[in-house]
Every structure is written in C-alpha cells, then in structure tokens.
Amino acid sequence: MDKPLVAIRNLQLTAATSRGEARILKGIDLDIPRRCILGIVGESGSGKSSLANAIIRLLPGNTTKLSGEIVLDGVNLVGLDEVGMSELRGTRIAMVFQDPITALNPLFSVERHLVDVIRRHTPRISRADAATHALHALEAVGIADPKLRLASHPSDLSGGMRQRVLIAMALLAEPDLLIADEPTTALDATIEAQIVALLGELRNKLSGSILFISHNLGLVWRLCERTCVMYGGTVVELGDTEAIAAAPAHPYTRALMACMIDNEASDAPLVFIPGEVPDPVAPVEGCIFAPRCGYVVDECLRVTPPLRDLDASRRVACHRAGEIA
C-alpha cells in the first residue's frame, strides 16, 4: 500500500471527570489511506467523535492528555501548538458535524457563509469572482436552484440542504482530509440516502480522503471502501469493507452486523447488542468486549488482545479471531 495520508499510532486521550480520569482513547492505531473513504463505526460511546476531535484538535476543556502520533505528511499533529493546528484546520483538515443548524450563523446568507471561507483562503479575490466561486460550490454539492439558494438564510433551508451547504464550505479549501461525524444522523432516511450518495460522488472528484463516522454499519458499508470498527476507545477490527462484510472476524463486528440484518427486516422489533458500552472511567482488565462477548474464554478475562494482522489487509483485536467461524 502507498504511504497513508494520516498514520495514527498509540493515540491516547484522557479527560478529568468528577468520578476520576476517563480513558477515552486507549491507544488507537489506524492508517487513513490516500484517496479513500474510511468508515468508523461503533455504538454510541465508542470514542468515534473523540478520535475525530483529536485529529482536528477540537477537544473539550477537561481533556488532560493527548499523546501518541497523528502523522500527516511527516508532521506529528499531536506535537503542534494551537497556532500550528489552526493553520491546518479548515484548510488541510475540514470537518462536517452532525447538527447542521448550530454550525451555521442564522443571521448570514448562504452566500456570505461561502464567501467568508473563500476570502479566508484567497484574500485578494474580487467580489464577483468570490460570488461565482460560491455558486459553483453549491452546484458541486447538488443544491437545486443554487442561485436562489445563495440568497437564502439557514432558517430557509431544510436539514438536508444545510448539510449540503456545510459540505460545500468544508470542500472550498480542498482539504486533504474531510471528516464527517454522523453527518446524516439528524436527517430523515430519504435525505440521509441523498447525502450519502453525495459523499460517494465526491469521493471520485476529491483528491483527498474522507473519514466517515457513523453508528450505522449499513451506511458505512454502503459508502466506505475501508471500515474501522471501534469499541470502548479501541480499534477492534480494521480492513477492506468487502472482506469484513463477507467474514467479520471480531465478535463485536458480528454483533453489529447481526443487529443491522435483523433491523432491516421490516416488522421485527429493533435489535440491540445486550449489555452496555464500557464506562471510560472504569479500569479494564483483559479484553474490553469480554463482558458482552459470546465467545469469551479464560484468556479474554486476563489478557488484553492486541490489534494484530489477520491477513495482509485485516487487523483484529481478538484472541480467538480466525478460530471462531
């Protein structure tokens, strides 16, 4: 494989809470390949947003430690100060969030939002050129009647249109990495499908990569060529989506998959994995998934399984990977 766009090594994130120190990311190892859509999937509370926020360094104030490596083009972002990070944010790494309403200023038109970003990147651009650029940006994300929409305010737009505007803003800088954290969770199913289709189209036009984060395995598999399954602040399985979908190796991936398949059957009740995601404040002994795992053996309770190669393109953190089928 080519050198990855981003190489994450032993990334750890802790935060102070009233109940003690929370270990939110427990040593993440993950490559984001170039020109790729990588999906990150896991139940709510798995640490997906924390990973995204650590990459772009938009971390809450109670964060006590970020350590390890996030290497982008030879530079470890973990070692950069806030000035260095703010130069990358919005230019080389851009982010689209779950809630498209709070991310836009209700007082400003769509055109003003876009032109502000364009000006930041090209300060000497003429008004007319900036306006044309803004129009093209809206066309690129498939907004109907883009001329009319430039004059609209956020409150005039549907949730799906707002998310398209945010994606357009994020793409203006032609970032190397676009992070989309649950970008469709606030939208209804039809609009969700449209936004996922848009991201799929963009993949072919972008020179950068997309990190697509979702709790919905079906969406990740529809869109992403690589899949990273997270659980309890760790990576439990990583590989080509097709290979994982054909033969999930980690019991947690299997459980997610079983929920997805059962939930697709229209008249069945919603299926969840029994038990709860781990509390990041609680100490971990052995495998973090062991308390919910149907394949658990003695070793799982004592020894934390490392993320190891199952084959050339798959990594799994399970003592019994390859053995259970």
Ligand X SMILES: Nc1ncnc2c1ncn2[C@@H]1O[C@H](COP(=O)(O)OP(=O)(O)O)[C@@H](O)[C@H]1O
Binding site for ligand X (CB under 6 A): 15, 17, 22, 24, 42, 44-50, 60, 62, 280
Q: What is the DSSP letter of 2?
A: P
* Residue 49 touches Mg ion, criterion: CB under 5 A: yes
Partner from ligand X, Mg ion, none contacting 180, C-beta within 5 to 8 A by type: none
Q: What's the rounded Cα separation, in Å, for the pair 239 and 316?
A: 9
Q: What's the rounded Cα separation, in Å, for the pair 193 and 197?
A: 6
Q: Is residue 34 within 8 Å of 8, Cβ to Cβ?
A: no
Task: State the nearest-atom distance from the C-beta of 52 to ligand X, in Å.
Answer: 8
Closest CB to ligand X among residues 114, 184: 184
Angle made by CA atoms 212, 26, 69, in degrees to the nearest 5: 70
Closest CB to ligand X among residues 22, 321: 22
Task: State the nearest-atom distance from the C-beta of 15 to ligand X, in Å.
Answer: 4
Contacts 24+ apart (CB under 8 A), 306-309: 307/29, 307/234, 307/235, 307/236, 307/238
Residues 264-303: x where in contact with Mg ion by CB under 5 A, - otherwise, as a string: ----------------------------------------
Partner from Mg ion, ligand X, none contacting 62, C-beta within 5 to 8 A by type: ligand X
> 185: closest CA among 4, 19, 48?
48
Closest CB to Mg ion among residues 25, 157: 25
Report residue 45 as tokens.
Answer: 């509370």
Closest CB to ligand X among residues 49, 241: 49
Three-state SS for 93?
Answer: strand
Task: State the nearest-atom distance from the C-beta of 43 to ligand X, in Å.
Answer: 7
What residue ranges bind Mg ion (CB under 5 A)? 49
